[in-house]
Amino acid sequence: MHDDVKQHIEKALDEVRDIFMRAVSKIESLKVGEKVAGTALAEDIAASLTNENIAAAIAEGKLPVGTTIADEELVKSIKVSGPTIYPTLRYLYVNYPNTTLTRGAKGGITKLARPVASVDAAKFVKTIVELGTALLKKDKEEAAEVVVTTS
């Protein structure tokens, strides 16, 4: 593979990574049980990207100062739309950790609580008793052994 092709792939992956990170930021900011529509999230990200493209074009002198996303005729060549990036975002949405994804008008990405590691209560109590017993006997070696074997 030629270097220019590798560079092109890396640039494209960086752009997709940026889109994913924007989505992740919004998904992670959801409270447990809160939901956001995948299409609405795509639209928000698209608007953000479009505004950045407009700012860059103004800085480069390609667009007049004061151009906004509302100036549809001026920005149509650099506008990013939600439907354009939604298929890419679906790769992120599907099986996203601690969320459910539902389809349809009332669907979306719903944040779930993170699973809590289960603890074997009997084993935990036994370990605490063994540790306490060893410490009461002032047997540091036995106490250290209890800690090491249960870690």
Percent of the chain with pLDDT over 70: 83
pLDDT of residue 114: 82
Same domain, 106 and 125: no
Same domain, 104 and 131: no
Three-state SS for 13-49 is HHHHHHHHHHHHHHHHCCCCCCEECHHHHHHHHHHHH
Query: Does residue 116 sit within a domain?
Result: no
**Averaged pLDDT for residues 118-131:** 71
**Averaged pLDDT for residues 88-107:** 88
Q: pLDDT tens digits, residue range 39-52?
A: 999 999 999 998 89
Same domain, 44 and 98: yes
**Averaged pLDDT for residues 66-95:** 87
Same domain, 100 and 60: yes
Question: Domain containing 143: what range?
Answer: 121-150
pLDDT of residue 141: 65
Same domain, 86 and 24: yes
Of the pLDDT bands very low, low, confident and very high (cuts 50, 70, 90), residue 103 is: confident
Q: Return all residues near 51 (Cβ < 8 A) that are at least 6 apart.
A: 69
Same domain, 74 and 139: no
Same domain, 63 and 81: yes
Lowest mean pLDDT of 15-29, 59-73, 99-113, 127-141, name the range. Answer: 127-141
Q: Return all residues near 81 (Cβ < 8 A) that are at least 6 apart.
A: 43, 46
For the chain, the domain total comes to: 2
Q: pLDDT tens digits, residue range 31-80?
A: 999 999 999 999 999 999 988 988 988 899 988 888 888 887 888 888 88
Same domain, 68 and 141: no
